[in-house]
Amino acid sequence: MNKSERWFERAQAVIPGGVSSPVRAFRSVGGTPPYVAKALGSRITDVDGKEYVDLVGAWGPAILGHAHPDVIAEVEHVAKNSFSFGAPCPPEVELAEAIVSRVSAVEKVRFTNSGTEAVMTALRIARAKSKRNVIVKFAGCYHGHADSMLVAAGSGVATLGLPDSPGVTEGAAKDTVTLPYGDVAALETVFAERGHEIAAVITEAIPANMGVVPPPPGFNKKISELCKQHGSIFIVDEVMTGFRVSKDGWWGIEGTRENWVPDLFTYGKVIGGGMPLAAVAGNADIMDLLAPAGPVYQAGTLSGNPVATTAGLATLRNCTPDVYMHLDAMADQVFAIVSDALTKHGIVHQPQRAGNMFSFFFTDRPVHNYDDAKTQDTAAFGRFFHAMLDNGVWLPPSAYEAWFVSAAHTDDDLAIIASAADIAARAARQ
């Protein structure tokens, strides 16, 4: 028994399933999760001393690579004055200013500790603003584990093959309408029938929790138009994409081109630089509904704490145009390397990408929605995953997740990925 196996055995005695987030347990791919000792740059090292090229990046926030020296230096400096004050502090103001300066559609920001909290807050604001209850979401889009958002969710729910989670009441679920992703006709129908009841429509800027599914051209614009027409709130969840795919997120790539603007954004991941931090953001009129400016209550003792906001601010300061160029170029190369290896060994697959986020579906059809995603051969992915891991490449342990590159990835990493992908493609065929 290696050290990771011993740690997992200990964990299962004191932590449900042995993990603090379900996908980490490796249930969908089998085996025991390696326990991590450290991560630096593009590499991650487990407790047994094995090093891997990391294509998970802490599920997105390690955009600069792990333990970037500038981020570490600034965090160490501020941490000496305490991790948290439970009071206002300059870094939270500076980070909010940085977000506002990057996203022209945003005027005010409220920090939370997780993407789940940010989405909960956005939904509460939307219901208060519209004076309605019904939320429209899309199957396979994951917006955290708030009760109403676990109806036909993606990500860990899809990975574990779970139905809508026990513990979610009928009352919580009845005000959530779930539609197939990308289905404009279904969206138009629900607005025609229930537009007067719909408080908000929420969608991932790029669905990436059923694997990466690029939005159909004009789909987000149509959501925006229908929401405006019916007095509903349009919420764009950029917890994954915000400041990862561009300096102003996916909206900066698509929304500015197609001329649509959501009422609210939710952010996370990159804005905390790997620390627990997220935010809801939007124009001043709607954001000022939040207490103490307005009547909508939201609070968090650790929200906007100096360490997390400093890490996020240092990260954003280092996300230069050159960094985004490097991310896109590296995503191009990893995407091509893996797809070529799968093709070479006759593995049916659909490579899909939006910005610098991508994934590979082990299926013979393009994936446009959650039902398409569920047609893939998850057993083949499991074989591919373990062969990649055995040969030094750290992937998401799920066929329903996005892959991430960082500014720290190099040509040496590409060589390791290429070698591993060739072996893993052969393993997937068996």
Catalytic residue among 52, 142, 370, 400: 142
Active site residue 174: no
Nearest of 317, 421, 304 to residue 63 by alpha carbon = 317
Nearest of 34, 149, 154, 142 to residue 398 by alpha carbon = 154
Catalytic residue among 108, 269, 324, 422: 269
Q: Find all residues with CB under 8 Å of 50, minimum gap 6, and list them.
A: 34, 392
Active site residue 142: yes
CA 142 from centre of chain: 8
CA 195 from centre of chain: 29
- At 272, list the tokens: 């905390």
Distance CA 136, CA 145 (A): 16
Query: How do 278-282 and 233-238 pair as beta strands?
Result: unpaired
CA 46 from centre of chain: 23
Active site residue 269: yes
Catalytic residue among 54, 237, 248, 263: 237
Nearest of 354, 346, 353 to residue 362 by alpha carbon = 346
Question: How many other CB atoms are found less than 10 A from the CB of residue 19?
Answer: 16
| Residue showing tokens 């025991």 | 32
State the DSSP string of 3-41: HHHHHHHHHHHHSGGG-SSGGGG-TTT-S-PPPEEEEEB
Active site members = 142, 237, 269
